[in-house]
Amino acid sequence: MILIDDSSAVNTIVPSNLITKLKILGLNTSLFNVFSVLPSEVDMSSPLMYGTPSSRVEGTPRSGVGGTPARQRPDLGSIRKAPQVDLHSEPPSADGAVASEQALGQKLVIWGTDVNVGTCKEKFQRFLQRFIDPTSNEDENAGLDLNEPLYMQKLEEISVVGEPVLNVNCSHVQSFDADLYRQLISYPQEVIPTFDMAVNELFFERFPDSILEHQIQVRPYNALKTRNMRSLNPEDIDQMITISGMVIRTSQLIPEMQEAFFQCQVCAFSTCVEVDRGRIAEPAVCRNCNTTHSLALIHNRSAFSDKQMIKVQESPDDMPAGQTPHTTIVYAHNDLVDKVQPGDRINITGIYRAVPMRENPRQSNVKSVYKTHIDVIHFRKTDEKRLHGLDEDSDQKLFTEERVQILKELASKPDVYDRLSSALAPSIYEHEDIKKGILLQLFGGTRKDFSQTGRGNFRAEVNILLCGDPGTSKSQLLQYVFNLVPRGQYTSGKGSSAVGLTAYVMKDPETKQLVLQTGALVLSDNGICCIDEFDKMSDSTRSVLHEVMEQQTLSIAKAGIICQLNARTSVLAAANPVESQWNPKKTTIENIQLPHTLLSRFDLIFLMLDPQDEAYDRRLAHHLVALYYQSEEQIEEEFLDMAVLKDYIAYARTYINPRLNEEASQALIEAYVDMRKIGSGRGMVSAYPRQLESLIRLAEAHAKVRFSDKVETIDVEEAKRLHREALKQSATDPRTGFVDISIITTGMSATARKRKEEVAQALKKMIQSKGKTPAMKYQQLFDDLRGQSEAAITKDMFEEALRALADEDYLTVTGKTVRLL
């Protein structure tokens, strides 16, 4: 007869096209016998009817623990082999003595562990029913009532959605019952099935009518034990671990045999043998007819489960310098197959396994090496959140208590701001304000979301432009910043194209599908994009930056892929003057020849000029010479460690979200009004809302430096000072010596504009005074104007005046003649 248990895994796993295969196999005489000899046995529960499994479910609705088929968990290995032992009896002899737990109670544990099934189950059920985490902010728990037992709500969700998987955060288990957690970590292979049992009992008690595809499986994640692939060692074998890494390769689907189906060639008796530790014990004798070696394996009636090999490489942040990254093999089973793609950054929770190299009977000695892999229980993508939602700073950088203490101590020092700024790129001399600006850029402002009111996100990132003479270590500063931040990108304007900065579509060589390859700006989302030789960039490339630098998004419409990517990146750019040497007689715009639309998007524009004064030279020389002879220790005494600085920034960025307090907002308003006042006296606008936003960002960043949750007046003061300092450098009108913001916002200083108008008026007056002459010689007019005006008039100015008059529709210029209209 055919022995198939209704609840066996075969039901759900054998593919539906088996029926056609069986038809083909109908030619096989041995199988034919099945039909002819035992026709009456072919009933609804027979595997031969698998063509319509779903209809069967509808026909006989199953519910309750007994009715729902259990699904094998290849991720846990063969669990049914674990016998229970009495603690007080001799372990080896008790091997086979499986007594019922009710009879022996507490003393009974699973062999080789200290796990008692009954207690364990009870504890876990209690955990599920009682665990509350009011402070939870995980995205999985979105929409759940945090003051109700968390996992009961999840069970309810399962009953509604019908996805029989319960993810359990191990840190929750730990905070609830440390002993249970320890058992879970140490004996996952035994404890997780117990959890499964517990959760199913509970579930079907609560929701007796719900129908699930198979029984609920518990998937623990976030085991705290291990975080780094490098720290895996032989002690972790067969324990539950969580590591992070990046997927580099995934294999094709591998069907792995779970149950082998044997049939006797003589009497057609069939039997199933479960795979035990990768082996199948072939039955030597047929139980029915006692013929020896008559059983043959029937492949298409054996049960297979899906399996996939995934190679994971440790993430670059976890590695010590100078070594190559390690890789680990991970096996995903059943529905976890194809959940991840190469390039994904994931957290894996699984059981670490070491398998000895297969012993070859033909060889006397074997390699003494084990093969290691991880049977995955739970995947969690860490970069999933990057494309949507707010800053869920994925890498959840963990700080130890002591580290946090050190950082806080540092933050409480009154001169922390100066300390940090001097720790920034110590090899670069002076430029204190520039370093301070970059420091504030590294911290960034507070992210604000007004999308509900339809105004979208406000930019929190500070953009900085450095311009100045070549050889003033601009590139070095950029290189330093790029090395300091975890998500930094470094590109050179000369070598990058628009697509290199944004994104391009290419055909994947393996899958032949079109894929979007992201460029530097997208890659540095939440980081800093350093662009060297900003001025050498082509116009089309630069135009891309307009959107990125204010809206912080990138819109792409290429090859049928239309999307908007986040590019919440700070831009740190460096530009050289057009004439290779900075011309102090010209404005910033004239010197670097960048469109003012782009320049106005920079919060701070610094000039790095060679000051050419003796005291400076002396200090510079001292600094450089010291650089060359000071020993390593001396340097360390003087400056903060780069690692501390890194951690400080990471900590502040993740945990500190300062808000403006009343005084500070008042101070900001005053500052803004003052800035506007300066200009209004001379009849020009000297500040725009953009400058106010910059001030707010800078003040917030400064509060972050202090680890303060409130933006206070001192923050505003520093923001004002820095902003003024930068303006003084970059927006000073070389003709008048006044600071004039319109140089940056409109590309022309107010005085220059005024003069242009004056010239135009003078010209108009002159033409009018000449009376009605419809046409004039160009050169003649120019000479006349020069003769009349007391100020020197250049040809450029004259042409500009003509253009202005032409715009007024007063005259037209055609070739060398000027006609009045």
Partner 1 sequence: MRMWFVCRFCCPAAQSNSNPEWEAKVLEYFKGQLREKESHSWVPSLNDVPLHYLKPNSLVKFRCLVQDMFDPEFYMGVYETVDPSTKANVLRCGKYKDVTECGVDLNSRNTVTAERQTFYCVPIPGESPWAKEISFLSAARVVPSTSYVPSRQKRSYEEDDDDMDTQPQKQREPHTEPHGNGDSKRQETEAPSSQTTAPSDCSSHLDLNFPLPGERGPACLVKVYEGLDSFKLNDTLEIYGILSVNPVLTVLGEEKDPSLLLLNPTESMETPEEQRAHDPPASLVPRLHMLYARPLQHNNPLLPSAPTEDQSAFVSSFLVEMASVRAELLAYLTHVLLGDGLAAEYLLLHLISNVYTRRDVLPLGKFTLNLSGCPLNSYTERLYQIVQQLVPCSYRLSMSLHTMNSMRLVPKKDYVANRLVSGALQLARNTSLFLDETQLEQGQLDSSGVRNITALGNLISWQKVDYDFSYHQMEFPCNINVLVTSEGRSLLPSDCQVPLQPQVTPPNMEEYLTTIHMAQFTSQINKFRVYLSLARTLDYSISDEVTKAVEDDFVDMRKDDPQSVTAEDLHRMLVVARLLSLSLGQTTLSRDGWMRAKHIDMLRRSRTEQQKSLNGNEP
* Residue list 335-394, contact with partner 1 (CB under 8 A): 342-343, 354-360, 363-373
Region from 408-416, 420-428, 680-688, 753-761 binding partner 1, contact rule CB under 8 A: 420-428
CB 632 to partner 1: min, Å:
7
- 580 is an interface residue for partner 1 by CB under 8 A: no
632 forms part of the interface with partner 1 (CB under 8 A): yes
Q: Which is nearer to partner 1, 246 or 411 (CB)?
A: 246
Contact criterion met (CB below 8 Å) for 540 and 498:
yes
With respect to partner 1, which residue has the nearer C-beta, 433 or 610? 610
* Closer by beta carbon to partner 1, 509 or else 737: 509
Contact call for residues 477 and 425 (beta carbons, < 8 A): yes
**Residues β-bridged to residue 218:** 166
Out of 37, 87, 285, 626, name the contact with partner 1 by CB under 8 A.
626
- Nearest residue (CB) to partner 1, 217 versus 472: 472
Q: How far is CA 71 from the centre of its chain?
A: 34
Report if residue 610 touches partner 1, rule: CB under 8 A. Answer: yes
* Long-range contacts, stretch 104-110, CB < 8 angstroms, 24+ apart: 108/84, 109/84, 109/85, 110/82, 110/83, 110/84, 110/85, 110/187, 110/190
Binding to partner 1 (CB under 8 A): which residues in 295-324? Answer: 307, 309, 311, 313, 316, 320-324
At closest approach, how far in Å is the CB of 387 from partner 1?
Answer: 17
Q: Is 251 in the site for partner 1 (CB under 8 A)?
A: yes
Q: Does 90 sit near partner 1 (CB under 8 A)? A: no
Of 147, 453, 612, 814, which one interacts with partner 1 (CB under 8 A)?
A: 612
Contact (Cβ atoms closer than 8 angstroms) between residue 286 and residue 266? yes
Quote the CA–CA distance of 71 and 7 in Å, as a whole number: 9
Q: Which one of 61, 415, 629, 807 is in contact with partner 1 (CB under 8 A)?
A: 629
394 or 551: whose CB is closer to partner 1?
394
Residue partners of 390: CB distance under 8 A and separation at least 6: 447, 449
Which residue in this structure is represented by tokens 């007080």? 88
**Nearest distance from residue 495's CB to partner 1, in Å?**
7
* Cα distance between residue 346 and residue 353, in whole Å: 19
Q: Rounded CA gap, 666 and 220, in Å?
A: 51
Counting Cβ atoms within 10 Å, is residue 572 exposed (0-12), middle (13-18) or buried (19+)?
Answer: buried
CB of 160 to partner 1, least distance (A): 37
Query: Which structure tokens are listed for 289?
Result: 């007819």
Q: Restricting to residues 487-516, which ones interact with partner 1 according to CB under 8 A?
A: 495
Q: How far is the CB of 323 from partner 1 (least distance, A)?
A: 6
d(Cα 533, Cα 593) in Å, to the nearest integer?
A: 12
Backbone angles phi, psi at 54, to 5 degrees: -70, -40
Only one of the segments 134-142, 201-209, 231-239, 686-694 lies at the binding site for partner 1 (rule: CB under 8 A); that segment is: 231-239
Residue 612's region, left for phi above 0, alpha for psi from -120 to 50, else beta, is left
The answer to the question of residue 33 lying near partner 1 (CB under 8 A) is no
Q: Taking CB under 8 A as the criterion, which residues in 275-294 touch partner 1?
A: 275, 278-280
Nearest to 8 by CA among 206, 301, 269: 301
Q: In sequence order, what DSSP letters do the residues of 237-256 get, joined into one string?
A: TTSEEEEEEEEEEEEEEEEE
329 touches partner 1 (CB under 8 A): yes
Q: Which range, of 273-281, 541-549, 703-711, 721-729, touches partner 1 by CB under 8 A?
A: 273-281
Distance CA 517, CA 488 (A): 17
Nearer to partner 1, 328 or 446 (CB): 328
Q: How far is the CB of 315 from partner 1 (least distance, A)?
A: 9
Using the rule CB under 8 A, give the single segment among 165-173, 265-273, 468-476, 560-568 that binds partner 1.
468-476
- Say if strands 448-450 and 488-492 run parallel, antiparallel, or are unpaired: unpaired
Which of the stretches 131-139, 213-221, 608-616, 725-733 binds partner 1 when contact is defined by CB under 8 A?
Answer: 608-616
Closest approach, Cβ 343 to partner 1, in A, equals: 6
Which of 53, 471, 584, 595 touches partner 1 by CB under 8 A?
471
CA-based nearest residue to 692, from 439, 459, 443: 459
- C-alpha to C-alpha distances, 267 to 48, 264, 273, 282, 288, nearest whole angstrom: 19, 6, 18, 17, 8
248 binds partner 1 (CB under 8 A): yes
User: Site for partner 1 (CB under 8 A): which residue of 455, 507, 622, 721?
Assistant: 622
Q: Tell me the C-alpha distance between 573 and 542, whole Å.
A: 12
For position 231 contacting partner 1 by CB under 8 A, the verdict is no
When the beta carbons of 431 and 706 are compared against partner 1, the nearer one is 431
Part of the chain binding partner 1 (CB under 8 A), chosen from 254-262, 448-456, 696-704, 783-791: 254-262
Beta strands in 651-718 (DSSP E): 659-660, 710-711
Query: Could you tell me the smallest distance in angstroms from the CB atom of residue 479 to partner 1?
Result: 5
Residue 164 and residue 158 in contact, taking contact as beta carbons nearer than 8 Å: yes
β-sheet bridge partners, residue 241: 350
Q: CB of residue 615 vs partner 1: minimum separation in angstroms?
A: 9
How many chain residues touch partner 1 (CB under 8 A)?
80
**Binding residue (CB under 8 A) for partner 1 from 46, 483, 634, 736:** 483
Q: Which residue type is seen at 351?
A: I
617 touches partner 1 (CB under 8 A) = yes
Give kind and range of the element (H or E) at residue 491. Answer: strand 488-492
Among 469-477, 588-596, 600-608, 745-753, the segment contacting partner 1 (CB under 8 A)? 469-477
> Between residue 753 and residue 812, which ones bind partner 1 under the rule CB under 8 A?
none
CB of 168 to partner 1, least distance (A): 29
The nearer residue to partner 1, 472 or 566, going by C-beta atoms, is: 472
Q: Is 553 in the site for partner 1 (CB under 8 A)?
A: no
DSSP string, 274-311: E-BTTB----SB-TTT--BT-EEE-GGGSEEEEEEEEE
Nearer to partner 1, 118 or 426 (CB): 426
Contact mark string toward partner 1, 41..80, x via CB under 8 A: ----------------------------------------
C-alpha span between 332 and 309 (Å, rounded): 6
Among 262, 379, 417, 429, binds partner 1 (CB under 8 A): 429
In the complex, least distance from residue 809 CB atom to partner 1, rounded to whole angstroms: 48
Residues near 488 by beta carbon (within 8 Å), at least 6 away in sequence: 481, 482, 524, 527, 528, 529, 530
Asked if residue 224 binds partner 1 (CB under 8 A), the reply is no
Shortest Å distance, C-beta 436 to partner 1 = 17
